[in-house]
Amino acid sequence: MVAVIVGSFLLGFGINGFLVPHHLIDGGVIGIALILHYFFGFQTGLSMLVLSVPIFFYAWCYERPFFYSSVHGLLLTSLFMDWLNPLKKVFSLSILTSSLIGGVIIGMGIGLMLRYETSSGGTDMLAKIISKSSSLDIALAIILIDTLIISAAVFTLGVEIFLFSCVTIVIIGLTTSLLKVRH
């Protein structure tokens, strides 16, 4: 439970403190939730929760132990995302510095949760399922899924945001890979 709380807090902190001020996106469900936040003002955490329903339904049907261990992560991450929203006005860093620091913090949160067989849901859960059923490393699965999501946003967010979001995603994947213990 400590890993879920700390990991969820790190995700909310990294996203709101470093990604949101520059309109950077993460990939996957969080990335889609961020796009909805930037363009329509939707709450990021609530959007993430709603968007994760199909993945959680799949996990309920085929990966029930992972579903049970991840539902807490989804709920807490959604809560921390919306609760830590005021952090978007706290740090004044360059876009490169924000993408690097945000990537490390978010990767630490994801890696910590995955180390203890839980996640925040979304693409973490999807990547875990893909990794478990194939020889693909979980960090590579996260990078591939996330890159697909932000590629769809390149035309609406611009090339600079896309490139720095790619940097963030690679840093998240590498940090996750370093923290995740293989069994």
pLDDT digits (tens, 9 = 90+) for 8-37: 999 999 999 999 999 998 888 888 899 899
Asked if pLDDT for residue 169 goes beyond 90, the answer is no
Residue type, 152: A
pTM of the model: 0.84
- How many whole angstroms separate alpha carbon 133 and alpha carbon 32? 25
Rg (CA), the chain: 15
Per-residue DSSP letters for the chain?
-HHHHHHHHHHHHHIIIIIGGGT---SHHHHHHHHHHHHH---HHHHHHHHTHHHHHHHHHH-HHHHHHHHHHHHHHHHHHHHTGGGGGT----HHHHHHHHHHHHHHHHHHHHHTT---SHHHHHHHHHHHHSS--HHHHHHHHHHHHHHHHHHHH-HHHHHHHHHHHHHHHHHHHHHPPP-
Predicted confidence band of residue 68 (pLDDT cuts 50, 70, 90)? confident
Phi and psi, residue 182, nearest 5°: -80, 145
pLDDT digits (tens, 9 = 90+) for 48-60: 999 988 888 888 8
